Structure 1
Amino acid sequence: MPHFPPPGPLGFGGAPLGNMFERVDDVTAEAALVAAWDSGVRYFDTAPHYGSGLSEHRFGNVLRQYPREDFTLSTKVGRLLRPDAGRPDNAPFVDGLPFRVQPDYSYDATMRSIEDSYQRLGLAQIDIAFVHDLAADHLGDAWEEQFEIARTGAFRALTQLREVGALKAWGLGVNLTEPCIRALEQADPDVFLLAGRYSLLNQPAVERLFPMCGERGVHVVIGGPYNSGLLAGGRTFDYKDAPPEMIAGRDRIATICDRHGADIRSVALQFCAAHPVVAAIIPGAKRAEKVTENARLMEAVVPAAVWQELKHEQLIPADVPTPN
């Protein structure tokens, strides 16, 4: 069956609106989502984990203003929310809703998660469901065991929901390529949300995952195109202090961009979007002005000499696709 691609090239990632690292008030969050819509964005991604349901609530409150057939919405499964008046820690999110996050990749939990997301969003249609963080730090060395639970549980549930038309597509939302490769080998996913593994600084996805996706007609959404901030002027990589070699790589790329009058952020976004298996990129943003800026950066002209020099200096692989 044909796989359902989310519309791109620019989407909206919902982690920041779950109060990632800092509190965002409702007015600011709504303005960011409206700015995304006004900028032409029609793909929106969220998750129960983001602020213990806060991001989903905010997405639903805004997206209900628009015709449902005019946008694509993805959320995630694998984290159930349990009421907890003590507002337990859910780092890196702050001041989220009063729910405790419980990882669970079983069949029943997946069905429950989808139903809960309908309620939080206030919408009757979820287009794409990603199995969330099936190789994250909270799993440690146990991710392969959890993958097997997901294979017989979440994968089976989401496949059934796709077959009856309740979902248009399902896949994994992860920051490692290995679970995606295994999912392609053992199941029938449609799309992956891959964070931080295809960027100007880091491209392990081109080795095996992207060729496999190309052969199967499976699409990829790129999260973290700025590598959690390092490519946008920050000092973090993978949400931690950036290692010296990554800072040095960023500085070399920035020097080339400056020499040709290109904004490194434009180069970062457009690099991710240029690969043929990539359907959309979803940089996160907390504020309307940053959303509008991302849209402008996506459209900015990057001189061909930038791509040529990045390849010549072996800062990106010589054979990766780059914009025309």
Structure 2
Amino acid sequence: MVSRRSFIKAGAALSLGSIFSASALAEQLKVKMSQGQLMPTKGPIDKSAALPTNDVTNAKHYRPEARMGLGGLAAGNGFNTISSDTEILTMLNAAWDAGIRHYDTSPFYGLSLSERRFGDLLRNKKREDFVLSSKVGRLLTPSAEPLENSWHWADHSPFHYKYDYSASGTRRSIEDTLQRIGVASLDIVYIHDLSPQNSDMGEDWLKYFDQAAKGAIPELTKMRDEGIIKGWGFGVNTPHAVYKALDMSDPDICLLALQYSILDHKEALNKTFPMLDKRGISAVIGAPLNGGFLTGRNRFNYSPKIPAPMQQKYNAISEVATKHGIDIKTAALQFAEAPSTVASIVPGARTAEQINANVASMKVTIPDAFWSELKAKNLIEQNAPV
């Protein structure tokens, strides 16, 4: 459904200089409506099936038991989509009721908004009943002035942020997170957004990495050894920091966002995963649906610009999925969860309907012939686990 605010914004944009036609307005509103629709889950669903789990008996490093979790970007009003506290709490309760027990958030998501909203659910649960991860690298400070150009956050909390990967900044960030969520501990802490892809950093990411190497990395290692946290690693959109850290530290688990999906997985499969496997480190896959693109949203990863090759591959895989009686979202979620390196996937959601659809997708029986046809048509890597 198109919100009144969206309608007004669309109309205002079209009135500027009369450079768009009425048909353009209709098309823009059509896109906004499509972004609010839900891709139906197709295929035979075993409603009695449990969500997949890990055997953690002989794990070298900490690995969560649940192989399906929930990412917290949307709970921070990500992609400039405004959700009410009530809508997000309804979504979170639906996730809990569906059996999801792995929750990932960050101070950056909505500038504390996601953490606070996650706390509305989790502070009322027994701490041993769920896995919780958050991130360090940005310290928030209150401000009466809204932060302009604040990435994708709509109606975010009244905070500014600064980068701080020092030991003291890391401990301060964790303490702030615990207070915002209202829990006594975190299971996993990720060093966040150390990447040349981070537009705030660019090539300066190496300077921040050096700060983390002297501060956050030894501090998190110490906290793990003291039993304050169970594991730590990197939460990044590109693998540069992971590659750089493996030779000088001992992370447990890394959150790889935008790096392993049914559309784009070659480097992670053939380079990143083998490097992690060699050290017994697991991966959590963020954005397995490419920021909603694989559910029909008009964006790819975190951008409205959709690369032509990705659109072509989407169309081709969708055609094969339809032939075999399933949908591309279902195939994408099961594909991202399949590798043994992967400990969990954490797709985001902002509504209970999205949660239920994602959970249903994990219980669909996908025919082997579907995967065979994708490989025969070179739509996925030949060595990709399915």
Measured in 1, the distance between the counterparts of 2:164 and 2:240 equals 20
Measured in 1, the distance between the counterparts of 2:212 and 2:381 equals 34
> After superposition, what is the alpha-carbon deviation per residue over 1:149-183, rounded to whole angstroms, capped at 9, x for unaligned?
11111111111111111100000000101211222
Correspondence 1:101 to 2:187: no
Instruction: Please point out which of 117, 134, 157 is paired with 2:194.
Output: 134
**Structure 2 unpaired stretches of 5+:** 1-58
Instruction: Please point out which of 66, 87, 90 is paired with 1:8.
Output: 66
Measured in 1, the distance between the counterparts of 2:259 and 2:274 equals 14
Instruction: Please point out which of 299, 303, 309 is paired with 2:363.
Output: 299
Measured in 2, the distance between the counterparts of 1:185 and 1:298 equals 36
8 Å CA contact 1:228–1:237 kept in 2: the answer is: yes
Measured in 1, the distance between the counterparts of 2:65 and 2:300 equals 27
Correspondence 1:168 to 2:226: no
Q: Which has the larger Rg?
A: 2
Deviation at 1:263, TM superposition (A): 1.1
Q: Which amino acid aligns with 1:34?
A: N
Which aligned pairs between 1:191-202 and structure 2 lie closer than 5 A?
191-202=253-264
Q: Which amino acid aligns with 2:302?
A: Y
Measured in 1, the distance between the counterparts of 2:286 and 2:65 equals 14
Deviation at 1:147, TM superposition (A): 1.2
Instruction: Please point out which of 103, 112, 129 is paired with 1:70.
Output: 129
Instruction: Please point out which of 145, 168, 181 is paired with 1:86.
Output: 145
Measured in 1, the distance between the counterparts of 2:270 and 2:71 equals 25
Which aligned pairs between 1:179-194 and structure 2 lie closer than 5 A?
179-194=241-256
> After superposition, what is the alpha-carbon deviation per residue over 1:46-67, rounded to whole angstroms, capped at 9, x for unaligned?
0000111111111112112211
Deviation at 1:230, TM superposition (A): 1.7
Measured in 2, the distance between the counterparts of 1:121 and 1:157 equals 22
In structure 2, the partner of 1:220 is 283
Measured in 2, the distance between the counterparts of 1:6 and 1:54 equals 25
Deviation at 1:6, TM superposition (A): 2.0
Which aligned pairs between 1:1-324 and structure 2 lie closer than 5 A?
2-20=60-78, 21-89=80-148, 90-135=150-195, 136-203=198-265, 204-240=267-303, 241-322=305-386
> After superposition, what is the alpha-carbon deviation per residue over 1:13-67, rounded to whole angstroms, capped at 9, x for unaligned?
0110011121111111101111111111010000000111111111112112211
Measured in 1, the distance between the counterparts of 2:138 and 2:178 equals 15
**Partner SS for 1:119:** helix
8 Å CA contact 1:52–1:96 kept in 2: the answer is: yes
Q: Which amino acid aligns with 1:38?
A: D
Measured in 1, the distance between the counterparts of 2:336 and 2:167 equals 33
**Partner SS for 1:207:** helix
> After superposition, what is the alpha-carbon deviation per residue over 1:180-229, rounded to whole angstroms, capped at 9, x for unaligned?
12221221000011111111111121122100111111111001111112
Q: TM-score, normalised by structure 1?
A: 0.97
Measured in 1, the distance between the counterparts of 2:293 and 2:113 equals 26
Measured in 1, the distance between the counterparts of 2:371 and 2:240 equals 28
Q: Which amino acid aligns with 2:223?
A: L
Q: Which amino acid aligns with 1:233?
A: G
Q: TM-score, normalised by structure 2?
A: 0.82
8 Å CA contact 1:230–1:247 kept in 2: the answer is: no
Measured in 2, the distance between the counterparts of 1:289 and 1:57 equals 22
**Partner SS for 1:252:** helix
Q: Which amino acid aligns with 1:72?
A: V
**Partner SS for 1:2:** coil
In structure 1, the partner of 2:15 is none
Measured in 2, the distance between the counterparts of 1:266 and 1:187 equals 36
Measured in 2, the distance between the counterparts of 1:133 and 1:97 equals 20
Percent identity between the two aligned chains: 43
8 Å CA contact 1:8–1:281 kept in 2: the answer is: no
> After superposition, what is the alpha-carbon deviation per residue over 1:98-128, rounded to whole angstroms, capped at 9, x for unaligned?
1102111111111110111111111111110
8 Å CA contact 1:231–1:268 kept in 2: the answer is: yes
For this pair of structures, how many residues does the alignment match? 322
**Partner SS for 1:173:** strand
